[in-house]
Amino acid sequence: MNFPDSIANIIILGIMVVGLLGLLIPVIPGLVIIWLAGLAYGLGVGFQTPGWIFFTILTIIMVVGSLVDNVVMGQQAHQSGASWISVLLAMLFGVVGTFILPVIGGFIGALLALFLAEWVRRRNWRDAMTATTGWAVGCGWAIVIRFVLGLLMIGIWMIWALF
């Protein structure tokens, strides 16, 4: 590895670390940032046989990780008593909230929508709060899962960079 390659690898790793830290904020697409850094690396060094295998693995992890958070949050809320319609409304208002108030709007919008939908459905604020707490717990687990997947992606890239 020559000097320009090592500088490029440090930059790629830096971008991946930014993506990893972005995973701690639910609306920042940290896995996508890590994946894009992997794509940039592949475009820079070329996609020989091991390269496209490593990049395919990164792509699969990114897609799975991008979907798992919604599944985990929704499942946790459902196990806490929320209806699937309330969960879908929470997801919808989470997306809307992200555009209205970036960074925290998605989280607040989802929680508020879930609470209101469950309160209207049950007419019991305690049950609505239990379902909303389930969503929040699921969000915490989703962050942990995506962070671990981000670490895995960076580890796979490091192995790829050694080839």
8 A C-beta contact, residue 97 and residue 109: yes
Q: Cα-flanking dihedrals φ and ψ of residue 143, to 5°?
A: -65, -45
Q: Give me 61's structure tokens.
A: 């992890």
Q: Provide the pLDDT confidence category of residue 27 given band limits of 50, 70 and 90.
A: low
pLDDT tens for each residue of 59-83: 999 999 988 888 898 899 989 989 9
Q: How far apart are CA 145 and CA 76, in angstroms?
A: 14
Average of per-residue pLDDT across 79-105: 87
Q: At 143, is the secondary structure helix, strand, or coil? A: helix
pTM for the predicted model, two decimal places: 0.83
Residue 1 reports pLDDT greater than 60: no
Q: How far apart are CA 87 and CA 48, in angstroms?
A: 43
Span of 5-14, 20-29, 37-46, 105-114 with lowest mean pLDDT: 20-29
Q: Give me 36's structure tokens.
A: 């894009």
8 A C-beta contact, residue 91 and residue 81: no
- CA-based nearest residue to 79, from 115, 126, 132: 132
Angle between helices 30-45 and 3-22 (to 10 degrees): 160
pLDDT tens for each residue of 109-141: 889 999 999 999 999 999 999 999 998 999 899
Q: Read out DSSP for 23-75?
A: TTSTTS-HHHHHHHHHHHHHHHH---HHHHHHHHHHHHHHHHHHHHHHHHHHH
User: Angle at Cα 83 formed by Cα 80 and Cα 85, nearest 5°?
Assistant: 140
Q: Residue 61 to residues 4, 113, 124, 149: CA-CA distances in angstroms?
A: 29, 30, 40, 7
